[in-house]
Amino acid sequence: MRISIKLSAALLALSAAPLAIAEKAFDKEVAAEERGVVEVSNTSGMVEISGWDRHEVSVHGDLDDGVERVDVTSEAGRTLIKVVLPGHSFHGGEARLHIKVPKDSELHLTTVSADAIVSGVNGAQRVNAVSGDVTTEIAAGNLELKTVSGDIKIKGHGQPAQLRVTTVSGDVHLEHGAGDLETTTVSGTLVVSLDTARSVHARTTSGDMHFDARMTRGSTFEASTVSGDVNVRASAEGGYAYEVSTFSGDISDCFGGPKAEKGIVGHSLSGSRGEGAGQMRLKTMSGDVQLCDRT
Amino acid sequence: MTGPKEHRVKSLAELPEAIEPPRDLWPGIEARLKAQVAVSGTGASPARARLGQLRWLAAAAMVASVAVGVWIGRDVVPLSAPVPNLAQATAPQVTPAQQAAAVDAAFVSDPRYARQRAELLQSLQARLDAMPQPARAKVTASLAAIETAKKDLESALGKDPSNALLQELLINTYQDEMRALTDVHEASDPGRGI
């Protein structure tokens, strides 16, 4: 008798399991302004956002049972899409959202562990994630992107913009960026290619940095790290004056001039390329530095 | 406005090549130097003996002043924030261990900084526990990297207290620590996001 009860309970649990992860579909479309603001928040799962030519926001979602509902509202040029979990829970409740927005929209996206993929959105983007990875395509709109541990991939098209990218432990990959870049990570790796940069300010604690950049005339490039290695290949219209200093790392360059000067403590290298119109400053404590102006 | 008796100098050539002091100053200087040597007993002047301490005081003062700037920049404290108490930051007799802590002390002597950092650290474990496990591991490793960087920089500053590069990197690291702690704190607050 006891065995049959246990078996029944087990069968009941097994039959209920698929129901627990069953997904429900969600679809909604609302009118939106051509250059309005679209705000999206999702805790876990995934968010895929793409720009289109219509003046509408379309939301398709696959929601698991942990999701209470998805709120979609549009008013006064502002469209809100919010995944609501029961009791404002912080955990669980996966939603996979596929969202289409007017391509010139300004986008505000917040996730916790949900990964985000953004493409074809030309307006400014403000993206915050905790552990979710973020992949985004940018145009001329400014970008402010912040994660705690999520990795970041940014694909630009060489259109100048202000780019602020911050993460605690995520890696940052940026390709075909342009304009002004300010990026910081503690232990993540920075891999950056810039088509035409006016200014670069980069900092890590232990993460390595790799830059491949074409700088504009009179541009500024500053990078510092405590223990990461710095590898910069940067050319600039009008050249640049450079100052490289490290406490215990090594310095190498492709300039063929005098080698880094070794002081009582630390190494330093300075000089000028071309007209010296721009400025390049690289600093480390123990990381090695490589500098070259051939990209 | 110049008085009628003043002679206006129109070129450097009009200036005298040397100006003799009204009296011979050397005997007084010599007497004071001899007195200092006699007091020290070893020939080393007290001023020189304090040089190492002063270097640390200078390093700590520089970092402290920039730290205040950092704070002001972060809007953590208002513009009327008190300057860190450097008297507490540097001990009269500087040992190697105290040297390594001198710059750190310049930061933590600011009560608002100390209070905010303590609050963030107090809630850190709970905030980390609220994160998915892989994220928690990555963030923990990053915070450990910051701690290692701080220790390495302080150790290097112990060898070269006036090194501006190390001072700047240490300040950066303190800033990054606060930013990371704040981001972790806000990240696990579902109402706010980071």
Question: What is the C-alpha separation between A62 and A45, in angstroms, rounded?
Answer: 9
Question: What is the C-alpha separation between A93 and A283, in angstroms, rounded?
Answer: 45
Evaluate whether B113 touches B107 at the Cβ level (below 8 Å). Answer: yes
Question: What is the C-alpha separation between A150 and A237, in angstroms, rounded?
Answer: 35
The pLDDT tens digits of the residues spanning A236-245 come to 999 999 999 9
* Percentage of residues of chain A with pLDDT beyond 70: 88
Q: Where are the domains of chain B?
A: 51-187
Q: Which residues from chain B sit within 8 angstroms of residue A89, using beta carbons?
A: 190
The reply to whether residue B166 touches residue A285, judged by beta carbons under 8 angstroms, is: yes
The reply to whether residue A130 touches residue B153, judged by beta carbons under 8 angstroms, is: no
Local confidence pLDDT in tens for the 194 residues of chain B = 344 444 565 555 565 555 555 566 666 666 666 665 555 544 445 555 455 555 555 555 555 555 544 443 443 332 233 333 333 333 344 454 455 555 555 655 678 888 888 899 998 988 888 888 888 899 999 999 999 999 999 999 888 888 889 999 999 999 899 999 998 888 766 544 44
> What residues of B are in the A interface, CB distance below 8 Å?
130-132, 134-135, 138-139, 141-143, 145-146, 148-149, 152-153, 156, 159-160, 163, 165-166, 168-169, 172-173, 176, 179-180, 183-184, 187-188, 190-191, 193-194
Q: Where are the domains of chain A?
A: 23-137, 141-295
pTM here is 0.75
Secondary structure class of B174 (helix, strand, coil): helix
Evaluate whether B153 touches A70 at the Cβ level (below 8 Å). Answer: no
| Cα–Cα separations (whole angstroms), residue A203 to A182, A210, A226, A283 | 9, 12, 9, 10
Q: Which long-range contacts (CB under 8 A, 24 or more apart) does B92-99 make?
A: B92/B53, B93/B53, B94/B52, B94/B53, B94/B56, B96/B158, B99/B56, B99/B157, B99/B158, B99/B161
Evaluate whether A261 touches A225 at the Cβ level (below 8 Å). Answer: no
Q: Cβ of A110 under 8 Å from any chain B Cβ?
A: yes
The reply to whether residue B190 touches residue A112, judged by beta carbons under 8 angstroms, is: yes
Secondary structure class of A275 (helix, strand, coil): coil
Mean pLDDT of A30-41: 97
The reply to whether residue B142 touches residue A286, judged by beta carbons under 8 angstroms, is: no
CA distance A169 to chain B (A): 6
The interface pTM score, or ipTM, of the predicted complex is 0.79
Rg (C-alpha) for chain B, rounded Å, is: 26
The reply to whether residue A265 touches residue B148, judged by beta carbons under 8 angstroms, is: no
Instruction: Say which residue, A30 or B60, is predicted with more confidence.
Output: A30
Rg (C-alpha) for chain A, rounded Å, is: 24
The reply to whether residue A283 touches residue B169, judged by beta carbons under 8 angstroms, is: yes
pLDDT surpasses 60 at A293: yes
Instruction: Say which residue, A227 or A295, is predicted with more confidence.
Output: A227
Cβ of A279: how many Cβ atoms within 10 Å? 17
Question: What is the C-alpha separation between A101 and A277, in angstroms, rounded?
Answer: 42
Of A151, A39, A129, A164, the closest CA to residue B183 belongs to A129
Q: Which amino acid, residue A100? A: K
Q: Which of A130, A150, A186 sits opposite B180 (nearest CB)?
A: A186
- Report the b/e string of B116-150 with b at 16+ CB within 10 A: bbeebeeebeebbebbbeebbebbbebbebbeebb
Of A90-99, A126-135, A275-284, B166-175, give the lowest mean pLDDT range.
A90-99
Q: Token pair of A41, please?
A: 């928040």
pLDDT surpasses 60 at A128: yes
Instruction: Say which residue, A27 or A15, is predicted with more confidence.
Output: A27
